[in-house]
A and B are shown apart, each in its own frame.
Chain A
Amino acid sequence: MGLILSAAAVQAAERFPPPQFETDYQMPTLTTPPPRAAVWEFVDVGVLAAALGLASWLTLRKRSRRGIAALSVFSLLYFGFWRQGCICSVGSLGNVVLSLFDSSYVLPLTAAAFFLLPIFFTLFFGRVFCGSVCPLGAIQDWVVFRPLSVPAWLETTLRLGAWLYLAAAVLFAAVGAGLLICRYDPFVAFFRLGFNTPLWLLGLLFLGVGVFIARPYCRFVCPYGLLLRQAGRLSFWHVRITPDECIQCRLCEDACPFGAIQPPTAPWPESMRPAERRRLVFLFGLLLVLMSLGGWLGYRVHAGLAAAHPTAELARQVRLRQAGLIAEPTDALRAFDVSGRTLQSLWTQEADVFRRFAWGGLLAGVFVGFVAGVKLIQMSIHFKRTDYEADRAGCLACGRCFAFCPRHRIWETGKPTDSGETS
C-alpha cells in the first residue's frame, strides 16, 4: 500500500517539459479553465437531496431492491463518472474539518451540504446514502459476487482501522497537512478514467477483495461511514427486513453480505451477571488506561506524521540542499527560493507544524483509545432482541434482505397474510 501511495506521489510531480525553441516563437500564456458555474453546484446539491429522498422512499416505503439498485447505477454515473468523484460526501469531511481549524478557509456551501445532507437523512431514515447514493459504495456493490461471511469478532476488529483512519484524516485536515480521504480515494482514478495513476491498482485491489468481502472500503476504511454508523444508531425510521412481523423463519439469516442482520437474543444466564458487572467495572477503568496510552502513543508518533506536512517536507529539502545532497532543486525549493521567505521563517513554521502535530497526535491517540475502550464495553453489554433485525449501525440499506422474507413476498404481491391484512 505504501509503495502504491508513494508511487502516486511521484506520479503527481511528473511534468513533460515545454519545448525549447530557438526562434522568436512566443510561448502562449498558460491559461486555466474557468471555474464551474455556480448553478451547477446547486444542481449537484439538488440531485443529492433528490437522490437521498428517492432512496429513502425506495428503501422504507417501496421496499424495492431493484429501485435501489437502479438508483445506485444513477449515482455511480452522476456523482462518479459525470462529476468525477468530486465533490463527494466522504471527502467533504476533510473540508469541514479544515474550515473549523483554518480561519482562512471558507467552507463552500456545496461541501457543507454534501456533508450534512446524508447525516440528516441517516438520522431519519437510516444509511440510505450508503445504500444507493454514494458512488464509492455503488461501484463496490456491483462486484459483490461471492460474499463470504466475516465473523463478528473480525469485523469489529478490522473496523478499528477505520477509526484510526478517521483520526488521521481529521488530524491532517486540522493541521493543514492535506485532505487524506480525497488524496487516497481508491475509486477516483476510475471515475476520471485516469489509468496513468497507480491509484488504479488500489481501486482494483478493493474491487478484487470486494468480490468476496462485500464493500471492504465502506466497512473497514470509510471515515464518513463511521459517522453515518453513529447517526444510523439514532435513526428514527430504518430498514426493516420484514414489512410487518417477523415469523422467525430464519430465511434471512444469511441474506446480508455485510453481516448486518442480527438474530434474536437468548436470555442471558443469571449466574453470569456478577462476573459481567465486575468486567464492566474493569473495562471502565481500562477505558481511561487506553485513552492515556493512546494519547501517549499519539504524541510519540507525531514527528513521523508531521514529516508528511508540506512545510516539514520543504524544510527537510532545504536541509538536504544545505548538506549538498540535492543536486537539482525540486519544484518546492524553487518556489521557496523565489518567494522571498527567510530560512528563519521556514524553521519557525516547521516548529509550529510539529507543535500542532504534537497536540493533534495526542488528541487523536486519546480518541482512538476511547474508541477501543468503548468497543470493549459495548461488547460486554447485552441487548435484548426478539426478532431478526437489521443492525441500525451496520445496515447499508441495500435492500437485499427484502426478497428473503416470506412476509415481504406476501406484502409485495398484495395477497392477504395469515392474519387477513393486506399491504
Chain B
Amino acid sequence: MMPLWLDLTIRVVAVVVGFLTLPLIVGQAEHKVMAHMQGRLGPMYAGGYHGWAQLVADGVKFVQKEDIAPRDADRRVFRLAPLVALFPYLLVLLAIPLGPNGLVAQPLDVGLFFVLAVLGVGVLAVLMSAWASANKYSLLGGLRGAAQLLGYELPLVLAAASVAMAAGTLSLPGIVEAWKPWWLLWQAPAAMIFFIAGLAEIRRPPFDMPIADSELVFGYMTEYTGLRFAFFLLAEYVGIVVIAALTTVLFLGGWHGPAADHLGWLWTLVKVFAVSFVIIWFRVTYPRLREDQLQRLCWLILVPLALAQLVLTAAVKIAM
C-alpha cells in the first residue's frame, strides 16, 4: 500500500490533468466538427497540422490581454465569479468513476447528491458576474440565466432521482455497478430529460438564452476580458465534459462494455466523447430557444415527463 499522501496526490493530479485536457479536446473537436457541419474547414494554421493547437494559441492570447474591470463594477465579486463558475466542475470530476474496481478519484456514498448539489453552484457564478458587471446586458443575461438554471434544476434532479431509485444507491460507482443494458429502454425518458436539462444547465445552444450574442452582446460575460473570460469559456467546455460524463455514468452504463475489467476506463471515455459530440451536434443544428419556449419546455414537458418516469421506475421496482 502506498502512503496516504502519495495516493491523494496521484488522485488530485490525475483529476486536474483530466480537468485541463478533456475540455481542450472537446473544444478542439467543437471547432472542427462545427466547421465541417457548416461546410468550412475550421482552424488550419495553429500547430501546423489542421490547427490542432488552436486552443493553446487562444489561451496564450487570453493570457496576454489586459484584465479590465469596469469602473462601476463590484470588483471583488466581479473577479471572483469566473472562479466560482469553474471550480464546481473540478469538484464534480472528483466524484465521477472512470472504471471498475474503484477507479475514481473520490468514491462517495452520496456521490449523486454531491454532484447535483455542486452543479447547482453554477447559478451563483452567473448571478455574481451579472450583478457585479454593472451592465444592462450582463444583468439581463444573468436574470435569464438564473431563471433557466433554477427551472432546469428540477427535471435534472428528478431524472437523476429516477436512476438512483432504480439502482437503489446514491453512489455513482454503485449506480454503474447496478446498471443493466435493458435500463437503456427503461430509463430512456429519464436519460433524454437529464441530457436536455444538462444542456440547459451548462447554457449550451439551443439553451443559450442567457448569452444570446445576437441580442445581449454576450450576456453575463459581456464585461469580461483576458484570463477571466477564458475561465468562463473553459467552464463551458468542462461543463460539456461533466454533463457528458454524468449522462454516461447514470444512463449509458459507464464502464460497461466488452472487456470492461481492463478497458473500462476506455469505454467511459468513448461514451463521454460520443455524448460530447451530440452536444456539439445539437449546437450546430438547432436555433436558440426563445425565453418563453425555454420555460415552457422545462415546466410543461420535462418536469411532467420526469415525474411520470419516477412513477414508472417505482412501479417496475416494486413489481420486480
Q: Do they bind each other?
A: no
Footprint of B on A, CB under 8 Å?
none
